[in-house]
Amino acid sequence: MNDDLANGSFGDEPLLVASDGPGELEMPTDESWDEIGEDAPDSATVLDDWIIFPVIALGVLITTVFPVFLQQQLCLPVLNTLVIFPLFVWALRTGRSRRALTMTLFWAFCLAAAMLVLGILLSERASGAVQGVVEYRSQFIRWMADATPVTAAPALDWLNQLKELLIFAVATIVTAGLGGLFLLTMAINIVSVNAGSLISEATRPVQTLLFSWPVWNIVRLVGLILLAVALAEPLATGQLRPNALARWFRERRRLLLYGVLALLAGALLQIILSSLYRSMLESGLGLR
- Amino acid 8: pLDDT: 44
Question: By C-alpha distance, which of 214, 217, 258, 270 is closest to 101?
Answer: 258
Averaged pLDDT, 135-156: 69
Is residue 153 very low, low, confident or very high in pLDDT (cuts 50, 70, 90)? low
45: pLDDT strictly greater than 90? no
pLDDT band at 158 (very low <50, low <70, confident <90, very high): confident
Of 32-36, 46-50, 92-96, 198-202, the poorest mean pLDDT is in 32-36
**pLDDT digit string, tens, across residues 211-228:** 999 999 999 999 999 999
Q: Nearest 5 degrees, angle CA 105-CA 9-CA 98?
A: 0
pLDDT at 154: 58
Q: Judge whether residue 7 has pLDDT over 60.
A: no
Section 108-120 average pLDDT: 97
99: number of Cβ within 10 Å: 24
- Tell me the pLDDT band of 144, cut-offs 50, 70 and 90: confident
Dihedrals phi, psi of 284, to nearest 5 degrees: -65, -30
Mean of the per-residue pLDDT values for the chain?
Answer: 84
Q: Measured in whole angstroms, how far is the alpha carbon of residue 238 from the centre of its chain? A: 22
Above 70 in pLDDT, residue 266?
A: yes
pTM of the model: 0.83
The pLDDT score that the predictor gives to residue 44 is 80
Which secondary structure element, helix H or strand E, spans residue 16, and what is its range? strand 15-16
- Bridge partner residues of 16 (DSSP): 25
Of the chain, the percentage scoring pLDDT greater than 90 comes to 62
CA distance 109 to 198: 19
Question: What per-residue confidence (pLDDT) applies to 142?
Answer: 81
- Choose the most confident range, by mean pLDDT, from 67-76, 105-114, 160-169: 105-114
Higher pLDDT, 237 or 32: 237
Range among 41-50, 100-109, 155-164, 191-200 rated most confident:
100-109
Peptide bond just before 154 cis, omega within 30 deg: yes
DSSP letter for each residue of the chain: -HHHHHH---TT--EE-GGGSTT-EE--TT--GGG--PPPGGG--GGGSTTHHHHHHHHHHHHHHHHHHHT-TTHHHHHHHHHHHHHHHHHHHTT-HHHHHHHHHHHHHHHHHHHHHHHHHSHHHHHHHSTTHHHHHHHHHHHHHT-S---STTS--HHHHHHHHHHHHHHHHHTTTHHHHHHHHHHHHHHHHHHHHHHHH-SSHHHHHHHHS-HHHHHHHHHHHHHHHHHHHHHHHT--SHHHHHHHHHHHHHHHHHHHHHHHHHHHHHHHHHHHHHHHHHHHTT--
What confidence tier does 5 reach under pLDDT thresholds 50, 70, 90?
very low
What whole-number distance in Å separates Cα of residue 277 and Cα of residue 49? 39
- Under the banding of pLDDT at 50, 70 and 90, the label for residue 19 is very low
Q: Which residues 6+ apart lie within 8 Å of 265 measured at CB?
A: 219, 223
pLDDT, residue 55, reads: 97
